[in-house]
Amino acid sequence: MIQIRNLCKTYGGAVDAPHALDDVSLDVADGDILGVIGMSGAGKSTLVRCLNLLERPTSGRIVVDGQDVTSLAGAELRSYRRRVAMVFQNFGLLAQKTVLANVCFPYLAATGRVTDQNRARALELLEMVGLAERADSYPSQLSGGQQQRVAIARALACEPDYILCDEATSALDPASTNTVLKLLRQINRDTGVTIIVITHSMGVVEKICRHVAVLEAGRVVERGSVADVFAAPRSQAAKVLLERVDWDA
């Protein structure tokens, strides 16, 4: 379980520096698929970067499975990051490495080598995402949707407890988006991995998420089950994102 408590992130040392995150508190239950949604500048990407400690929070705590991870460093930080995989908007694949080598890269980064067992596991993961036959291809030879599926296979290589998806489908066409979302949903069902989906699209939330948190100006302005928020949005931000606003009024 992830427990985020009173998380703040500011940039710059001034007392009145703007808050990218402002007193954010959230719980993410094991096995859940949580959507974190908001318009540009709401703080979504800052939140996900704090969750994997690419950004250090200015204050507040992130507690994962009972451990406060906010100040981890060195080997403990590396161990934690292996449990929290990332899937990025721009795929993040290594252009000069084959698909198989990309999926094996987490093993290389963790231990300095890739074993036959690692390669066998990577091929299993490529089979899971429907791309085993493209193991010897290079990223440039794949479509955007295929590249994102390789990125998901790579994210699964270290058997993470959590997957953070930062606008993972925003660069994809609708058909590829649906393929990737179905894959993530199936992985969640098969493995129980907890998924946090950062997005600006209510359509993505509706298709895959069970719960949703709405961010506006760095604050959580609404949270709940997807069904409840979609049926009766309370915050202005949720109403705008759901297009429940009369623009001509």
pLDDT in tens, 158-172: 899 999 999 889 888
Strand partners, 216: 219
pLDDT in tens, 193-229: 999 999 988 899 999 999 999 999 999 999 999 999 9
Indicate if the alpha-carbon torsion angle 5, 201, 43, 47 is positive or negative. positive
Taking 90 as the threshold, does the pLDDT of residue 242 lie above it? Answer: no
Q: What is the pLDDT of residue 206?
A: 93
Q: What backbone torsions phi and psi does residue 28 show, to the nearest 5 degrees?
A: -125, 110
Report residue 243's pLDDT band, with 50, 70 and 90 as the boundaries.
confident
Q: Span 221-243, mean pLDDT? A: 92
Other CB atoms within a 10 A radius of the CB of residue 9 amount to: 21
Q: Rounded distance, CA 166 to CA 196, Å?
A: 8
Question: Which of 163, 165, 154 has its CA nearest to residue 204?
Answer: 165
Taking 80 as the threshold, does the pLDDT of residue 12 lie above it? Answer: no
Q: Where are the alpha helices (DSSP H) in the chain?
A: 44-51, 74-83, 99-111, 116-128, 144-156, 174-191, 202-208, 226-231, 236-241
Q: Token digits for 155?
A: 């994210």
Given a contact cutoff of 8 angstroms between Cβ atoms, the answer to whether 24 and 47 are in contact is: yes
In this structure, the strands spanning 67-68 and 84-88 are: unpaired
Between residues 116 and 90, the one the model is more confident about: 116
Q: Span 27-32, mean pLDDT? A: 96
Q: Rounded distance, CA 225 to CA 228, Å?
A: 5
pLDDT in tens, 135-189: 999 999 999 999 999 999 999 998 999 999 998 898 889 999 999 999 999 999 9
Question: Which of 220, 195, 222 has its CA nearest to residue 25?
Answer: 220
Taking 70 as the threshold, does the pLDDT of residue 248 lie above it? Answer: no
Q: What is the pLDDT of residue 170?
A: 86
pTM: 0.91
Question: Which of 174, 246, 237 has its CA nearest to residue 44?
Answer: 237
Counting residues of the chain whose pLDDT is more than 90, the rounded percentage is: 80
Longest distance between any two alpha carbons in the chain, whole Å: 64
Indicate the average pLDDT of the chain. Answer: 92
Q: What is the pLDDT of residue 129?
A: 94
The class level of CATH for 2-92+162-241 reads alpha beta
